[in-house]
């Protein structure tokens, strides 16, 4: 039977067919749906959200050492967080097979940088597989497990946004009942004290040699002979683009096992073709190695390493071909940037925050990153998850040292706080700064599509669990000044900021209100009640001052002709933030 699946769905299915029984991850686009899909198979697989990628990776190591086949998945920057265990697990090797999915995001559709994680395979000296469509995504999981166990190596399973999120046809196979290998205590292998690790490095180098021999033999790297004037070496989605451009007019060396590269096969292929192109997205990962092996090829001198490729970019670079397009003036179309939803609990918070003077607002990653956009504009930085608190601390220390009248305010979501904010806050307490940390607790991981987290009360597989409460947690870290406020209440927010700014010690403000799109749990319903409703503008009272428009709510529209504001009732949920900012009380709740 054939099904149309995304690469992520196919990996989950592949895991089932490969007998994987443990998987752990922290969400991150474009990898998130792998674990979400795996979680459905409750009888076969234990699938867990970890608070961050390092934790997830280490849990997976434990499960592998215990003897299970295992999977870890992350977006590319998530692999950075897991890099510490990765580099050492590369030395110890596996017991049950282990693959780490790195979902890279060329084009930065939803990421803060464009790093090419193929480099991790070379850096950590582990094997790498690169699927080019959903069928390969599924099939290569099983292959990954076999290679991992045979060569005693973790596998870097490298995907990209287009492989993760595009759908193609997949022939479905049979799920197998997961089994496990026996656990055997083995200090020489799993105890990386220097005396052991020293010898393991020797093994790692031997393993690389064996893997290269395998790379030259395996059908995962195959040649398609056509016209020999042009030869193309490509992997992943770049292979699809090359096929689109050259069709039958070129021969291909399709790389599925991309580290170590099949250098002997490449040499033989190169010898047969007149011009050799290496078509790859982002960095010259293959090209540099091929050139270092003394093989002439053309790659990044023609094909850009910036942003994602498309067939047209490849065609233009290598053949000079361009496609006719409709000629018109695109500049007349206004932008459509993403916005905080109508009723989002982050809105009121940023609206009040924007009013503060002499502050540096260090941001973090999540829906609340949008608090830095027009018209709220309440943010100075976003670097990586957890950084708001530690960057805020560093900046505050310097402002204090140089007697500048500045305070730093760190803004961080609940999931991000659990991810890596806790350590940073510990640092703030330990090193005695006076930053103000605002934890925006919308009771869920919003941005990536509502994943449960340690504060939400449920596991990935739907089990009710202990809710880790943020207020006692930050108190336990040593924060003496904590306030929990309702972010739909602007007065409460304003008072909290004034209170915190007067303190000479670090403080935490927790805004607690559920994401407007969250499917509320029983606990949510009990705590927050049914607050949904509608607001309307009493048109005769509206003076057209646009104060409400400055909240950036997409349900509010200013009519330039009538100079009045209208509320779109299909979007309004009655959060009443606009009602509080109206200077003439022209906005009321329906039914009040």
Partner 1 sequence: MSDVKNILLVGVGGQGTILVGKILSTGLMDAGYDVKMSEVHGMAQRGGSVSNQVRYGKKVYSPIIDKGQADILVSFETMEALRWLEYLSPKGKAVVNDYRIPSAPILMGKNDYPEGVLEIIKSKVPTTVIKAAEVAKEVGNGRTMNIVLFGALVKGMKLTDINWEEAIRQNVKTGMADINIKAFNAGLALVD
Ligand X SMILES: Cc1ncc(C[n+]2csc(CCOP(=O)(O)OP(=O)(O)O)c2C)c(N)n1
Q: Which residues would be at the binding site for partner 1 (CB under 8 A)?
A: 2, 4, 29-30, 109-110, 133, 162, 165-169, 237, 240-241, 243-244, 247, 310-312, 323-326, 328, 330, 332-341, 367, 370, 374-375, 447-449, 546, 549, 552, 554, 556-558, 560
* 335: partner contacted, choices ligand X, partner 1, none (Cβ within 5-8 A by kind): partner 1
Residue 202 to residue 205: CA distance in whole angstroms: 5
445 scored as a contact of ligand X (CB under 6 A): yes
* 415: partner contacted, choices ligand X, partner 1, none (Cβ within 5-8 A by kind): ligand X
Question: Smallest distance, Å, CB 408 to partner 1?
Answer: 26
365 scored as a contact of ligand X (CB under 6 A): yes
514 scored as a contact of ligand X (CB under 6 A): no
8 scored as a contact of ligand X (CB under 6 A): no
Query: Which helix (H) or strand (E) segment is 161 a member of?
Result: helix 161-165
* 366: partner contacted, choices ligand X, partner 1, none (Cβ within 5-8 A by kind): ligand X
438 scored as a contact of ligand X (CB under 6 A): no
Q: In a 3-state reduction of DSSP, which class is residue 324?
A: coil
Question: Number of residues in contact with ligand X, rule: CB under 6 A?
Answer: 24
Residue 159 to residue 70: CA distance in whole angstroms: 17
Question: Smallest distance, Å, CB 54 to partner 1?
Answer: 22
Cis amide linkage into residue 375, ω under 30° from 0: yes
Contact, 253 vs 266, CB < 8 A? yes
User: Token pair 């809710």 is at which residue?
Assistant: 467
Q: Which residues contact 152 (CB under 8 A, 6 or more apart)?
A: 93, 94, 207
* 169: partner contacted, choices ligand X, partner 1, none (Cβ within 5-8 A by kind): partner 1
Contact, 414 vs 470, CB < 8 A? yes
Residue 426 to residue 432: CA distance in whole angstroms: 10
Question: Smallest distance, Å, CB 455 to ligand X?
Answer: 9
User: Token pair 């089990």 is at which residue?
Assistant: 463
Cβ closer to ligand X: 37 or 415? 415
* 312: partner contacted, choices partner 1, ligand X, none (Cβ within 5-8 A by kind): partner 1
DSSP assignment of 432-469: T---EEEEEE-SSBTTTT-B--TTTSB-TTS-B-----
* Phi, then psi, of 274 in degrees rounded to 5: -75, -50
Among 310, 261, 281, 255, which residue's Cα sits nearest to residue 105? 281
What is the DSSP-derived secondary structure letter of residue 384?
Answer: S
* 374: partner contacted, choices ligand X, partner 1, none (Cβ within 5-8 A by kind): partner 1
Task: Report the residue number whose CB is nearest to ligand X.
Answer: 413
Site map 37..76 versus ligand X, x via CB under 6 A: ----------------x---------------------x-
Token pair of 63, please?
Answer: 């499960």
Cβ closer to partner 1: 202 or 330? 330
Distance between terminal CA atoms of the chain? 58
77 scored as a contact of ligand X (CB under 6 A): yes
* 27: partner contacted, choices ligand X, partner 1, none (Cβ within 5-8 A by kind): ligand X
349 scored as a contact of ligand X (CB under 6 A): no
Question: Smallest distance, Å, CB 582 to partner 1?
Answer: 16
Cβ closer to partner 1: 154 or 487? 487
Q: Which residues pair with 507 in a beta bridge?
A: 436, 481
Cβ closer to ligand X: 81 or 496? 81
Query: Which helix (H) or strand (E) segment is 194 a member of?
Result: helix 194-217
Contact, 111 vs 102, CB < 8 A? no
Question: Which residue in 105, 114, 352, 414 binds ligand X (CB under 6 A)?
Answer: 414
Contact, 426 vs 471, CB < 8 A? no
Residue 466 to residue 484: CA distance in whole angstroms: 20
Site map 19..38 versus ligand X, x via CB under 6 A: -------xxx----------
Q: Which residues pair with 257 in a beta bridge?
A: 129
446 scored as a contact of ligand X (CB under 6 A): yes
Residue 283: how many other CB atoms lie within 10 Å: 16
Question: Which residue in 39, 164, 367, 587 binds ligand X (CB under 6 A)?
Answer: 367
Question: Smallest distance, Å, CB 414 to ligand X?
Answer: 5
What residues line the site for ligand X (CB under 6 A)? 26-28, 53, 75, 77-78, 81, 365-368, 385, 413-416, 442, 444-448, 515
């Amino acid at each position: 039977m054939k099904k149309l699946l995304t690469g992520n769905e196919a990996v989950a299915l592949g895991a089932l067919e490969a007998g994987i029984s443990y998987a752990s991850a922290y969400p991150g686009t474009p990898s998130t749906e792998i674990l979400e899909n795996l979680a459905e198979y409750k009888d076969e697989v234990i699938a867990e959200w970890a608070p961050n990628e390092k934790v997830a990776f280490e849990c997976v190591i434990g499960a592998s050492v215990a003897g299970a086949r295992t999977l870890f998945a992350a977006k590319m920057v998530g692999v950075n967080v897991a890099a510490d265990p990765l580099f050492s697990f590369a030395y110890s090797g596996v017991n049950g097979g282990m693959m780490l999915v790195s979902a890279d995001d060329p084009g930065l559709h939803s990421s803060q940088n464009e790093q090419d994680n193929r480099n991790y395979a070379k850096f950590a000296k582990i094997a790498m597989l690169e699927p080019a469509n959903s069928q390969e995504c599924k099939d290569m999981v099983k292959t990954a497990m076999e290679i991992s166990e045979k060569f005693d190596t973790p596998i870097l399973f490298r995907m990209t946004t287009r492989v993760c999120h595009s759908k193609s046809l997949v022939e479905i196979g049979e799920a197998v009942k997961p089994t496990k290998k026996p656990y055997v205590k083995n200090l020489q292998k799993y105890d990386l004290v220097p005396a052991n690790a020293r010898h393991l490095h020797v093994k790692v180098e031997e393993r690389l040699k064996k893997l290269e021999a395998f790379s030259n033999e395996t059908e995962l790297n195959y040649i398609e002979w056509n016209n020999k004037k042009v030869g193309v070496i490509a992997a992943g989605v770049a292979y699809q683009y090359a096929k689109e451009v050259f069709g039958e007019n070129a021969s291909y060396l399709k790389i599925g096992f991309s580290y170590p590269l099949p250098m002997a096969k490449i040499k033989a292929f190169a010898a047969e073709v007149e011009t050799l192109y290496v078509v790859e997205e982002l960095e010259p990962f293959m090209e540099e190695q091929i050139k270092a092996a003394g093989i002439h090829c053309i790659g990044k001198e023609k094909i850009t390493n910036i942003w994602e490729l498309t067939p047209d970019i490849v065609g233009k670079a290598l053949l000079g071909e361009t496609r006719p397009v409709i000629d018109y003036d695109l500049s007349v179309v206004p932008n459509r940037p993403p916005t905080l939803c109508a009723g989002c609990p982050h809105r009121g918070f940023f609206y009040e925050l924007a009013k503060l003077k002499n502050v540096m607002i260090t941001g973090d990653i999540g829906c609340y990153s949008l608090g830095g956009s027009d018209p709220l504009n309440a943010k100075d930085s976003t670097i990586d998850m957890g950084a708001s608190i530690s960057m805020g601390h560093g900046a505050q220390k310097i402002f204090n040292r140089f007697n500048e009248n500045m305070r730093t305010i760190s803004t961080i979501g609940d999931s991000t706080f659990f991810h890596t904010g806790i350590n940073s806050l510990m640092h703030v307490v330990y090193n005695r700064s006076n930053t103000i940390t605002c934890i925006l607790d919308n009771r869920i991981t919003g941005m990536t599509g509502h994943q449960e987290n340690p504060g939400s009360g449920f596991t990935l597989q739907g089990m009710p669990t202990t809710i880790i409460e943020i207020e006692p947690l930050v108190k336990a870290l040593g924060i003496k000044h904590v306030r929990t406020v309702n972010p739909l209440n602007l007065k409460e927010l304003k008072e909290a900021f004034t209170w915190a700014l007067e303190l000479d010690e670090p403080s935490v403000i927790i805004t607690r209100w559920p994401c407007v799109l969250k499917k509320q749990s029983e606990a949510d319903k009990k705590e927050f009640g049914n607050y949904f409703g509608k607001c309307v503008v009493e048109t005769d009272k509206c003076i057209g001052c646009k104060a409400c428009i400055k909240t950036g709510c997409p349900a509010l529209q200013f009519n330039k002709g009538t100079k009045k504001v209208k509320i779109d009732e299909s979007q309004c949920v009655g959060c009443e933030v606009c009602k509080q900012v109206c200077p003439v009380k022209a906005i009321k709740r329906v039914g009040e």
